[in-house]
Structure 1
Amino acid sequence: MPGIAPDVISHKLAISSAYKPVRQKRRSYDAERYEAMRTEVEKLQTIGFIREATYPVWLANSVMVRKSTGGWRMCQDYTDHNKACPKDSFPLPRIDQLVDATAGLELLSFMDAYSGYNQIFMHPPDSEHTAFITDKGLYCYNVMPFGLKNAGATYQRLVNKIFAGYIGNIMEVYVDDMLVKSRTAEDHLQNLSIMFGILKDYRMRLNPKKCAFGVSSGKFLGFMISQRGIEANPEKIKAIIDMERPKTMKDIQSLTGRVAALTRFISKATDKCVPFFKALKGGKRDITWTAECDNAFQALKNYMSKAPLLSKPLPGEILYLYLSVSGTAVSSVLIWKPEKAELPIFYVSKALQSAELRYPPLEQLALALVVSARRLRPYFQAHGIKVLTNQPLRQVLQKPEISGRLIKWAIELGEFDIQFVPRPAEKGQAVADFISELTPATVQPTSEAITETILPDQPGAERLDTSTPVWGLHVDGSANQQGCGAGLVLTTPEGQKIEYALRFDFRTSNNEAEYEALLAGLRLVKSMNAKQIRIHSDSQLIVNQITADFAARDASMYAYLSTAHQLLRSFEAYEIKQIPRGENSHADALARLASAINDKVGRKVPVEILAQPSTVTSEACAVRYEDTWMSPIYLYLTNGTLPEDKAQARKLRYRSARYTVINDVLYKRGYTTPYLKCLTAEQGEYILREIHSGVCGDHSGSRSLAYKVFRQGYFWPTMHQDANTLVKRCDKCQRFGNVPHIPAEPLTPIVSPWPFAQWGLDLIGPMPQGKGQVKYAVVAVDYFTKWVEAEPLATITAAKIEDFVWTHICCRFGIPYAIITDNDRQFDSELFRQFCTRLKINLFFASPAHPQSNGQVEAINKIVKKLLKRQLDKAKGAWPEKLPEALWAIRTFTERPLEKPLFLWPLDQKQWASANLQGRTKFPSEEPSGENLGDYCLYRILTTNDRLTRGEKRQLDITGPSAETLPKGIHLDAFALGHVSCSQSAPTVPHRKFQNKHTSQGLYKETPIPKEGTQKDQRYAIA
């Protein structure tokens, strides 16, 4: 067999040198295995797959494995090789995506390479490492054998290379499994011709026994693919159906493993396997097979006997997701609806672990959505998803008291196009297991007797539809000398109870408190998007006024009744019933708690403070607002409205995750602050004026002003820019602001214009005395590259410093432009000054008693001492021997601004050799200084052969000669049309503390001033 040409690809082992070679001892086998082994070796040697090996470094044993046909297959035990080889991270295709890409087509051709791995040659130097031992001798492979760690990645790299441009179009390939697909039968012959041409060019051979051409269905990667859709492998289904009742732990593990292989086809797979998981607990070899396990086992077999057919959605179709939560798992099913039929695409299930079991039911439902989005990410990215739920899931992910976990999930889900819609009444067979969304582990029966009440005369009162979820509400009010409050108990359709309490900041009567409790409950249920509600109250007056049995003659009661009817119109149907006080004890206890509570009492029940009665209305005029920066976010959070542009929609979903809507007002979530109310630019300007120059305004600066607005709980995107503009426009801030008496001067920067031009010099010590009685160290660092030089010294004299500079700096890196030191007498000595003058080295001194002005070398000193401390431990006197190691560690750092290791810099630079010290060439015309440093840097850039890094460009930006790159803190005063010019007041007023800093004014206007030639230059003059 010819095989793939080595110049196309060959397999390399890349064995790590950190592993010692392993020669496995020869194993003994019976006569039958030896005979099969000899036959296989002779066959492989004849066709050239193996050759004899001599003195192999690595040696593996041969292992004989029985085939399903009764014959023997020879394999090699490359366990030790695989440990020594690094993993090849070349990606393999996702099986689910390949299967989806092949379903629903008219004609398919399935192909398999003949001894696929053996068609790739080994890299010649690695061939000897594949040696194996038999009873007749030692052999090694010329081709890539089975059993090597990275063989699959090498083969996938080959097929991706030779079939590039056709994979995903007319072909799908997973390692040695190949498939040619055609949407129509007319195109299939041409597609096969293209594929065969490629196989012929690269000398790849197929196994005709495993090939099938021009068929409508077939087995691919463990699935049955056809034009109808995707079916489970019949062999895997048969393995479960024919399986006997498990008797040991290994049998149950085998059963759960078979279920895991088919989990895509099994609805709520985890729930079906819960009894098996319980039987595995304890780790015993023999398990207790209970009646629950037996029932679950039979139910699983019955389900697998009619496993569903999965569908493939069309591109761009809207997909639907059903969610379900049980006491032990979260599950979902993804479907699509062609022609009103519900066709399943993928079933997902996950067992709840430890803390997840204690999540509230709605958070578990949100977890089901997150798990589905992670597992079905390709579908969520390519399609719009509608989550069919009757639970307030969208409100949970956006509510103000959302937990950190839910915030993280909301941000994660913001990437996808997800909408939440109510569940339809009709459901197909595919979602039969998802009729119930929330199934708690134990459901507590309610004690309330439910009776239907028909109120035809009241607006919105209709007979409750039992097919639609009905919410329950128990309300009670309390008014006493300690205070007034209300208690609410909201019951979801699944039986979950939500407690809520209110405290009133105003006095009410008992009847008014009962009405306030009812109105607060209706507002709460309305926020949950409930359609039908049952209301229970122990107040005879409230119930009979709502049902029109009693008349509301008092003005206050009439106002409350009108408000209640207005809220009740928000529901499709409602029912209100009076119950005895004993059956309303839960809400009564919450009401008493709220009326008596104070801020010093710890509580777990949320208590809302109601500032004014619900019947108070404010007079308002209709104001028409234009769209603001808040409009897209508000519309998305309230109605799910997204822009038509997909990129803008995705960006909006990400952005909206940090916002929430409370009582129809947009708020931004802060990190360490309360919710920030979002304002328009006009509202923000009013807030800025009030804080800056209002009653308590202090005319603070722009940064402080923006921070105060932020701490007051307001936000809009341009608050910092608006604060800066307001301060600049404030007349008092300009007239009475501080006047800089010292003109702006560019600072002398401690910056090096090129590598090894400017060095910092300092001493370390005294330290523990080392060999040679050294107890000091002189350290030098280059300001540009951060290269460090150091030398131990026994004494610190000017002569020692001069010798160090000459030996370690001048002779190695050239004569520097400048040296910066502190004011020690060793540096500020006549001998060292003469040395620097002789070599034309500028000697600068740091500010007295302020070593930070030479901070670069001080920072290096700290690093050197830290490295020496960590290396020396208790042997402190050995620091001179460890100093070179510390220097090497520093020199191998990679500086982020320069983006290259320090030790590479000396190799890139040309040294300054001083042949004529008195007349040394200057670059470009004089030594660089503060004034022409930027010009010098430009010259260096123009004369450097493209070795400029981003770090050097950053240095240029900081110290460049143009006005745009002046040092920080220096600004050019530019005047424009309309600017006001003020002259400074003369210091003649006796009381200067409150003196106006400026007196006369002038306005700049445009005045043409002729220049030489035909053009005119527009200048500014003071009017």
Structure 2
Amino acid sequence: MEDYIEGALAAGHIRPSTPPAAAGFFFIEKKDGGLRPCIDYRGLNAITVRYPYPLPLVPAVLEQLRGARVFTKLDLRSAYNLVRIRKGDEWKTAFHTTHGHYEYCVMPFGLTNAPAVFQALINGVFRDLLGRDVIAYIDDILVYSTSMEEHVCQVREVLARLQRFHLFVKLEKCEFHRTTVTFLGYVISPRGVEMDTNKVRAVSEWPAPATIKELQRFLGFANFYRRFIRSYSSVAAPLTSLLRGKPKKLNWTGQARAAFQRLKDCFTTAPILCHPDPDKPFVVEVDASSSGLGAVLSQRHGNPGKVHPCAFYSRKLTAAEVNYDVGNRELLAIKAALDVWRHWLEGARHPFQVLTDHRNLEYLRGAKRLNPRQARWALFFTRLQFTVSYRPGSKNGKAVRGGWRPWTTRAHPSGYRSAGSGPVGPTGRDSAGPRRGTASR
């Protein structure tokens, strides 16, 4: 603590203070073994007006990397300390130590608005490069290019821009001109995006939780990578159900133990997610069960074309959605999947295909009568150009697997039957789902 105080005073980051209030001071360990100073600003944060500047959505920004072959990762040194506190507000950052009271002249870690403020700063620095050559998430910067020659020029431009704005990188944490790089918890390469092997190892070696807090910690860690796990919500359902009602004690059952092991196994077998290519048509596979729904966004690559996943999506059904009949649950799965991936599917260059194991949905465009909920969904569908094709549940293995059997229909020899080439809309049968009693189980 003495070394930090002396260094911060010499650098002009802090100064002695006589404030009316002060926060506690402590250190936390960093990944590289060093110590990061932290101040307990919970009281100050509780009365702070939030700065409404959005942080980038990491999965969304990683989709920009299609076609990139070379990467450079930069990490800024003491990034927050590069921003000055507004004059007159320094006393609000006061903290106390055994050696006296001090206040920050620069932005410290722990302030609720610090991430948003710095993100606004870094976006201003790279405004014309974001989405083209650069991804910037607070103090982590990724430069990406399609060729080495182009990459060298882009890295020089980024470093010159940082120098111009008096921002400095931490050389020991930077990686230059790599074909594979770990960035924001993901391993990025020309093939696509995959999970960090160190984090996968941590999950595979995770001991069975003994308390509610330990289970919450495991699920929070696993949830970060849920987009890589097929039917994540269904696999994790026995574990999340243990947290329902805010229990005081963990009831670790045999079902929970099996789900815990299955979820760990899913991490070790998760696929590489390909970068979506707008020049290729998409395929959306959906399925629904009595407790959840799931979907896979895929594209064909190579010659002959082989289907590769771009993203997985799953969630549990709400209390109201559990009461939907099978047809409406399948229709809900389509609506939910198209909504979450609409930034790729809406305005796609090619009509995309939706695969479902519920045959009646093929005739959705011929529906003459829709209930209000189906009508709302049908209105959303008119924004998209796609066809619905039937594929038996036995061949629809990538999406959610439920505890119910598919409706008994005769499968097409090719594995699915096309519903037509036109856009799906609210014109077809009486309803999107079957009437009760009209299908056998």
Q: TM-score, normalised by structure 1?
A: 0.39
Distance 1:315 1:641 in 2: 20
- In the alignment, does 2:120 pair up with 1:207? no
What is the rounded CA distance, in whole Å, between the counterparts of 1:191 and 1:420 in structure 2?
44
- Per-residue CA deviation, residues 200-249 of structure 1 (Å, 9 max, x unaligned), is 21111111111001011111121110011110122221222101122222
Amino acid corresponding to residue 10 of structure 2 in structure 1:
T
The aligned amino acid for 2:224 is A
Q: 1:344 aligns with which of 309, 317, 321?
A: 309
Partner SS, residue 353 of structure 2: strand
Specify which structure has the bigger relative contact order, considering alpha-carbon pairs within 8 angstroms and separated by 6 or more residues.
Answer: 2
Match of 1:33 in 2: none
Is the contact made by 1:105 and 1:183 (CA closer than 8 Å) also made in structure 2? yes
Alignment equivalent of 1:375, drawn from 337, 340, 351:
340
Give 2:120's match in structure 1, choosing from 152, 157, 181.
157
Partner secondary structure for residue 63 of structure 1: strand
Q: Give the Å deviation of 1:389.
A: 2.3
User: How far apart, CA to CA, are the structure 1 residues paired with 2:35 and 2:128?
Assistant: 40
For each residue in 1:887-927, what CA deviation from the matched residue of structure 2 results, as whole angstroms up to 9, or x when unmatched? Answer: xxxxxxxxxxxxxxxxxxxxxxxxxxxxxxxxxxxxxxxxx
Higher deviation after alignment, 232-241 or 67-76: 67-76
Per the alignment, in what secondary structure is the counterpart of residue 337 of structure 1?
A: strand
1:921-954 C-alpha deviation (Å, 9 max, x unpaired): xxxxxxxxxxxxxxxxxxxxxxxxxxxxxxxxxx
Taking a change above 3 Å as real, the CA distance of residues 186 and 425 of structure 1, as seen in their structure-2 partners, is farther
Specify the code of the residue in structure 1 equivalent to 2:318.
Q
- On the 8 A contact 2:66/2:276 being kept in 1, the answer is no
Native 8 Å contact 1:103 1:228 kept in 2: no
Q: Which has the larger radius of gyration?
A: 1
Query: RMSD of the TM alignment (CA)?
Result: 2.6
Q: Does 1:420 align with 2:333?
A: no
Distance 1:106 1:206 in 2: 23
Matches within 5 A, 1:68-467: 72-102=35-65, 104-281=67-244, 283-338=246-301, 339=303, 340-381=305-346, 383=348, 384-390=351-357, 391-396=359-364, 399-423=367-391, 432-434=397-399, 439-441=402-404
Q: Describe the SS at the equivalent of 1:342.
A: strand
- The whole-number CA distance in structure 1 between the counterparts of 2:241 and 2:47 is 40
Contact 1:63 1:75 in 2 (8 A): yes
In structure 2, C-alpha distance between the alignment counterparts of 1:342 and 1:295, rounded to whole Å = 30
**How big is the shift at 1:70?**
5.8
Instruction: Measure the CA separation in 1 of the matches of 2:16 and 2:366.
Output: 70
Other-structure match for 1:45? 9
Q: How far is the alpha carbon of 1:395 from its aligned partner?
A: 3.1
Give the distance between the partners of 2:61 and 2:214, measured in 1 at CA. 32
Deviation (angstroms), 1:662: 6.6
Task: Call closer, same or farther: CA 1:102–1:661 in 2, change over 3 Å.
Answer: closer
User: Could you list the per-position Cα deviations for residues 966-1019 of structure 1 after superposition, in whole angstroms to 9, with x for gaps in the alignment?
Assistant: xxxxxxxxxxxxxxxxxxxxxxxxxxxxxxxxxxxxxxxxxxxxxxxxxxxxxx
1:704-723 C-alpha deviation (Å, 9 max, x unpaired): xxxxxxxxxxxxxxxxxxxx
Q: What does residue 612 of structure 1 align with?
A: none
Map 1:853-872 onto structure 2 (within 5 A). Answer: none
Q: Distance in 1 between matches of 2:261 and 2:330?
A: 29
Confirm or deny: 8 A CA contact 1:223 1:232 kept in the other structure: yes
- Report the CA distance between 1:182 and its aligned residue: 0.9
Quote the Cα distance in structure 1 between the aligned partners of 2:317 and 2:167.
Answer: 48
Question: Conserved in 1, the CA contact under 8 Å of 2:235 and 2:259?
Answer: yes
Q: For residues 152 and 371 of structure 1, do their structure 2 counterparts lie closer, same or farther at Cα, with a shift above 3 Å needed?
A: same
**Structure 2 matches for 1:785-804, cutoff 5 A?**
none
CA-CA distance at 1:67 after TM superposition: 4.4
1:283–1:192 CA distance, 2 compared to 1 (3 A): closer
Identity of aligned residues (%): 27
Counterparts of 2:45 and 2:245, CA distance in 1: 34
Instruction: For residue 140 of structure 1, report the CA deviation from its aligned partner.
Output: 1.3
* Structure 1: runs of 5+ lacking an equivalent: 1-36, 444-492, 496-529, 533-570, 573-637, 643-652, 664-1023
Equivalent position amino acid for 1:53 in 2: S
TM-fit CA distance, 1:294: 2.3
Residues in 2 aligned to 1:190 and 1:207: alpha-carbon distance in whole angstroms: 20
For the residue of structure 2 that corresponds to 1:333, the secondary structure is: strand
Given the alignment, which residue of 422, 425, 435 partners 1:641? 422
Gaps of 5+ in 2: 414-418, 431-441
Q: 1:245 to 1:355 in 2, by over 3 A?
A: same
Task: Report the CA distance shift for 1:264/1:175 in structure 2 as closer, same or farther (over 3 A).
Answer: same
Pairwise mapping of residues 371-770 of structure 1 onto structure 2 (< 5 A)?
A: 371-381=336-346, 383=348, 384-390=351-357, 391-396=359-364, 399-423=367-391, 432-434=397-399, 439-441=402-404, 493-494=406-407, 639-641=420-422, 660-661=427-428
Q: Distance in 2 between matches of 1:228 and 1:75?
A: 39
Matches of 2:392 and 2:154, distance apart in 1: 44
